[in-house]
């Protein structure tokens, strides 16, 4: 079959003849030297079969049903399925593509270069404000963060109260306990007005006692304080008119003592 095209020319015929001879010399006939070295008896004992040149090749084809079945199995599907992107992923993909495109423009490159520094400055400023415990929520017009338990610390403005009127009313109503309290508050205001004590809402009566200058005032104020505490903190609601009169006398005596102090000052 392969000699066909070459055998058409004279040179081709010669080449084909040499090739046939070569093939016959290489494998077609037994080597004389090798044959001579083999024992003759052994060579005769091996039966030789003539090559079956007539046998035709039979192709085995798989069953179409079986092929179809195998094709449907997942293990034999070698094509990767592309995952579908969600709308959110698509949004971010587009966003980042847009950012990348924007940064590639000349103005974008400038913004990127200086934007990093601006961000760093802002971050440092925020950290500094946090360390200084500055309430940043006010800057944005929001109400400041409040505690779960908001105990307001409103104070009673001693100097804004009309103590004299309230005291007269309490005496007229025979509410002697309240009258003792108002009388004591009027003494505190008087002391504060004269600069003998420094009025502060968190101070106790004994704090004021130890603020008074040495002399007769501390002892008199101590007595007044005892009476006030006994009546007010001791919840003496059943105070008699005689009891109250005793307290009032002590208070008025103390207040009279304050008058020379003013003149002396």
Binding positions for other proteins, rule: CB under 8 A: 133, 147-151, 153-156, 181, 184-185, 201-207, 209-210, 223, 226-236, 243, 246
In the complex with other proteins, the residue whose CB is nearer, 49 or 149, is: 149
Tokens of 88: 């959110």
In the complex with other proteins, the residue whose CB is nearer, 1 or 148, is: 148
In the complex with other proteins, the residue whose CB is nearer, 18 or 134, is: 134
Between the CA of residue 157 and those of 57, 160, 201, 227, 241, what are the distances in Å? 119, 5, 9, 23, 29
Alpha-carbon distance 116 to 112, whole Å? 6
Tokens of 71: 């094709």
Residue 145 and residue 137 in contact, taking contact as beta carbons nearer than 8 Å = yes
Residue 217 and residue 255 in contact, taking contact as beta carbons nearer than 8 Å = no
In the complex with other proteins, the residue whose CB is nearer, 228 or 254, is: 228
Least separation in angstroms between CB 88 and other proteins:
38
Least separation in angstroms between CB 89 and other proteins:
40
Angle at CA 248, nearest 5°, toward 217 and 174?
150
Least separation in angstroms between CB 108 and other proteins:
41
Q: Which residue has the tokens 């992107």?
A: 85
In the complex with other proteins, the residue whose CB is nearer, 171 or 243, is: 243
In the complex with other proteins, the residue whose CB is nearer, 5 or 234, is: 234
Using CB atoms within 10 Å of the CB of residue 211, give its burial: 0 to 12 exposed, 13 to 18 middle, 19+ buried: middle
Least separation in angstroms between CB 132 and other proteins:
11
In the complex with other proteins, the residue whose CB is nearer, 193 or 243, is: 243
Between the CA of residue 2 and those of 15, 20, 21, what are the distances in Å? 12, 11, 15
Least separation in angstroms between CB 222 and other proteins:
8
Phi, psi of 152 (to 5 degrees): -75, 145
In the complex with other proteins, the residue whose CB is nearer, 115 or 234, is: 234
Least separation in angstroms between CB 127 and other proteins:
13
Least separation in angstroms between CB 254 and other proteins:
14
Phi, psi of 193 (to 5 degrees): -60, -35
Using CB atoms within 10 Å of the CB of residue 257, give its burial: 0 to 12 exposed, 13 to 18 middle, 19+ buried: middle
Least separation in angstroms between CB 203 and other proteins:
7
81 Rama class: left (phi>0) / alpha (psi -120 to 50) / beta: beta
């Amino acid at each position: 079959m392969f000699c066909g095209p070459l055998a058409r020319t004279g040179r081709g015929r010669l080449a084909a003849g040499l090739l046939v001879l070569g093939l016959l010399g290489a494998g077609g006939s037994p080597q004389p030297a090798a044959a001579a070295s083999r024992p003759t008896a052994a060579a005769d004992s091996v039966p030789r079969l003539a090559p079956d040149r007539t046998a035709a090749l039979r192709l085995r084809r798989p069953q179409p049903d079986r092929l179809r079945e195998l094709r449907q199995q997942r293990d034999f599907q070698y094509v990767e399925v592309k995952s579908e992107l969600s709308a959110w992923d698509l949004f971010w993909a587009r966003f980042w593509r847009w950012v990348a495109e924007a940064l590639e423009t000349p103005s974008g490159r400038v913004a990127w270069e200086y934007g990093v520094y601006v961000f760093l400055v802002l971050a440092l400023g925020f950290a500094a404000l946090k360390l200084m415990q500055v309430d940043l929520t006010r800057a944005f017009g929001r109400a400041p963060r409040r505690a779960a338990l908001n105990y307001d610390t409103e104070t009673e403005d001693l100097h804004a109260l009309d103590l004299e009127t309230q005291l007269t009313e309490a005496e007229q109503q025979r509410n002697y306990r309240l009258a003792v309290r108002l009388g004591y508050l009027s003494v505190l205001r008087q002391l504060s007005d004269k600069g003998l004590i420094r009025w502060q809402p968190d101070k106790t009566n004994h704090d004021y006692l130890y603020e008074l200058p040495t002399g007769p005032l501390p002892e008199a104020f101590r007595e007044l304080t005892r009476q006030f505490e006994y009546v007010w903190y001791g919840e003496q609601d059943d105070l008699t008119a005689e009891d109250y009169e005793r307290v009032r006398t002590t208070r008025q005596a103390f207040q009279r003592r304050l008058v020379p102090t003013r003149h002396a000052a």
